Amino acid sequence: MNENIPIHEYDVVIVGSGIAGCSAARELHRNGKKVAVITKLHPLRSHSGAAQGGINAALSKDDEIDLHMFDTIKGSDYLGDQDAIELMCTKAPETIRWIERMGAAFTRNNDGTIAQRPFGGQSKPRACYAKDRTGLTLLQTIFEQAHRDGVTFFDEWYVSDIIYKEGKVHGVVAYNIRDLEFAIFKSKATMFATGGYGRAFKVNSNAHANTGDALSIVARHGLPLEDMEFVQFHPTGLAGSGILISEAARGEGGKLFNSEGERFMERYAPNKMELAPRDVVSRSIQKEVLEGRGVGPNKDAVFIDLTHLGEKVIMEKLPELRDLALTFLGLDMIKEPILISPTAHYSMGGIPVNIDGKVRKSCSDFVEGFYAAGECSCVSVHGANRLGANSLLEALFFGRHTGESILRDLNDKKLSNPNVVFEDAKRALEEVEKILKSNGSEKIAKIREELQESMTNDAGVFRTKESLLRQQEKLNELKARFENIRIDDKSKVFNTDLQEAIELGHMLDYSFFIVEGALIREESRGAHYREDFPNRDDDKFLKHTIAFMDENGKISTQFLDVALGKFEPQPRTY
């Protein structure tokens, strides 16, 4: 490896170029800060663009911010931090106007107001949408504005480590995917906005790039991760592939049926039916399948029927969903029901941050110069279960808000100048060197397949102590086998074998956190369902899990109190 590594200097380095990263970058650059955004994809390939259904805000006359707050808190199974939720919901209407004035083209009502559709767990229709391509519309808008303003983007660069010493993050180490040339990006402030970790599961709706790299990078430095056991399974992934069929399909009136022709949600959520929160609907579908009422060639799916909506509504409001079902199932939702099943979709846990996006070093202390926003972070507006259309709101609002927080800290001289030397890149260089030189017998694809299969089976929608202990053993086995890998491509040009090996190492790391958190949390809450502890236990577990990994990979856990507020925990029924 070349030891003459260039060192680039910025006020702020942002890793990840989705909605959260671009929102922060635009705010900082417009206020005179030198900003670099580093991304392993082109920004418009960020997973934000895959969000389909909408973005929440209490805009209509018969809706209220307090109602949006209550729905979010109840949806979170009371694990959401109410101060963060109040801030996000209060600022939601302003956030919609902010992105709209930048050029986001929302679908409109006849009177010119922004159209809003109902989503699961919501008391009112409050999901603003752009057909069924809302995320892409927002991503294109915020990226083009950040690019027009002159933000510097390093696309197709892979960030493999942070520079963390003396309680401060001094920047990142990254390499150019095109030629494997390393560089150090030193900065007074570093922000992660790298997305979620759904790729740990076999059936998932996540892009191939969603490998949760940031979580493992943070954990390897002894910094904590929060609430990793809470992984949302979206009810409506296309059977077999897990490709997302947006909640917009149910919001527009889609009905779920089992093999006996029953509209089975009457059994599980008689008041909300298909518009119950995602965790409730996912478990209901899974139960129907496990009890033998599944449909399809493998009897592992159920039907969602949209035929009653008619061609005009489907083509106006759900055209992309129709295309996906035609392409991947060969089924036309205009003419026939399509097959869906739960798919790993969203990560409620992540890098613990406070309401201003500052990363925690412990339950009571923070890392200087380190911030996070979007799905990789856990400010805990979602708690144990995210409501549909709150994820785009979180990314857009907290991306901008964290950018403003960084700006304040820079202007107030709270962030010291980074101290960086070549030796700070040693860890990242050694990781790449080790993988390139490894001549073992294990294949990356095989280990990854076994990881995803076992996580789905033993740490998925339903969990028990027995299944989680079995998964712990499996993770230990896979981790040992990972030390004996071999990649075929030893070159430096677009070496995707190398990148996938590094990513797999990250996936193995944070999977331990998911399983450990699920074992310790002996209750059922939101997306975390323990069959051996089917009830919520507020006395013991109305708390966040804050987990640390030591140098040997052993995980220890502490608990952090949930920020409560005006809404007291109560039974969660729909």
Q: Report pLDDT for 246.
A: 87
C-alpha distances (whole Å) from 226 to each of 210, 229, 308, 396, 483 are 18, 9, 43, 21, 27
Listed residue (274, 243, 245) closest to 258, CA to CA = 274
Q: What angle do CA 493, 34, 425 make, to 5 degrees?
A: 45
Give pLDDT, residue 393: 97
In percent, the amount of the chain with pLDDT more than 90 equals 91
Give me the count of residues in the chain: 574
3-state secondary structure of 26: helix
Beta bridge partners of 255: 305
List CB contacts of 546: < 8 A, sequence separation 6 or more.
Answer: 224, 225, 226, 352, 360, 362, 363, 557, 558, 559, 560
d(C-alpha 41, C-alpha 157), whole Å: 8
Tokens of 298: 């493998």
Contact 207, 218 (CB under 8 A): no
Task: Give Cα separations from 166 to 191, 367, 564 (angstroms).
Answer: 18, 9, 33
Please list, in sequence order, all residues whose beta carbon lies within 8 angstroms of the beta carbon of residue 57, skipping any fewer than 6 positions away.
Answer: 68, 92, 93, 95, 96, 126, 128, 393
pLDDT of residue 116: 95
Specify the CATH superfamily of domain 7-230+348-422: FAD/NAD(P)-binding domain (3.50.50.60)
Can you tell me which residue has the tokens 């767990």?
121
DSSP letters, 199-242, are GGSSSB---TT---HHHHHHHTTT--EE-TT-EEEEEEEETTT-
Q: How confident is the model at residue 49 (pLDDT cuts 50, 70, 90)?
A: confident
Q: Which residues make beta-bridge pairs with 295?
A: 301
| Three-class SS state of 304 | strand
Cα 208 versus chain centre, distance: 13
172-186, 239-253, 361-375, 510-524: least confidently modelled range = 239-253
pLDDT at 3: 64
Please give the Cα distance from 380 to 387 (Å, whole number): 12
Single-letter residue type at 405? S
State the pLDDT at residue 574: 80
pLDDT value, residue 105: 95
**DSSP string covering 492-529, please?**
SSS-HHHHHHHHHHHHHHHHHHHHHHHHH--S-BTTB-
Are 20 and 374 a contacting pair, CB within 8 Å? Answer: yes
For 387-440, the pLDDT digits (tens) are 989 999 999 999 999 999 999 999 999 898 888 999 999 999 999 999 999 999
What mean pLDDT comes out for the span 242-260?
Answer: 92
Domain boundaries, the chain: 7-230+348-422, 235-344, 424-540
Grade residue 35 by pLDDT with cuts at 50, 70 and 90.
Answer: very high
Q: Per-residue DSSP letters for 252-281?
A: TT-EEE-TTS--THHHH-TTTGGGS-HHHH
**Catalytic residue list:** 278
Percent of the chain residues past pLDDT 70, beyond the cut: 99
Rounded Cα–Cα distance for residues 344 and 211 (Å): 13
Q: Tell me phi and psi for residue 222, to 5 degrees.
A: 80, 10
Segment 509-552, tens digit of pLDDT: 999 999 999 999 999 999 999 999 999 999 999 999 999 999 99
**pLDDT, tens digit, 9 for 90 and up, residues 77-86:** 999 999 999 9
Tell me phi and psi for residue 48, to 5 degrees.
-55, -35
How confident is the model over 68-77, as a mean pLDDT? Answer: 96
235-344: CATH topology is: Flavocytochrome C3; Chain A, domain 1 (3.90.700)
With tokens 């009177």, the residue in question is 111
Torsion of CA 203, 206, 208, 211, to 10 degrees: -100
Reply yes or no on whether the pLDDT at 240 is more than 90. Answer: no
Quick one: which H or E segment has residue 322?
helix 319-329
Contact 278, 247 (CB under 8 A): yes
What integer pLDDT is reported at residue 52 of this predicted model?
85
Closest among 507, 501, 512 to 431, alpha carbons compared: 501
pLDDT higher than 60, residue 311? yes
Give one DSSP letter per residue of 416-440, joined into a string.
PPP---GGGGHHHHHHHHHHHH-B-
Q: What is the pLDDT of residues 268-301, one digit of tens each?
A: 999 999 999 888 999 999 999 999 999 999 899 9
List pLDDT tens digits, range 144-200.
999 999 999 999 999 999 999 999 999 999 999 999 999 999 999 999 999 999 999
Inter-residue contact 236 to 247 (CB < 8 Å): yes
Best CA proximity match to 177, nearest among 490, 499, 427 = 499
pLDDT computed for residue 2 by the predictor: 54
Q: Kind of pairing, strands 157-165 and 168-176? A: antiparallel
CATH class (in words) of the domain with range 424-540: mainly alpha
- For 128, the enclosing helix (H) or strand (E) is strand 127-128
- What are 297-300's contacts with CB under 8 Å, separation 24+? 299/259, 300/239, 300/341
535 token code pair:
């009830």
Cα of first residue to Cα of last residue in the chain, in angstroms, is 58
- Average pLDDT, integer, range 564-574: 92
As a whole number of angstroms, the distance between CA 40 and CA 239 comes to: 29
Reduce the DSSP state of residue 44 to 3 states and report it.
helix
Describe the chain by its helix, strand, coil percentages, rounded to 5: 40, 20, 40
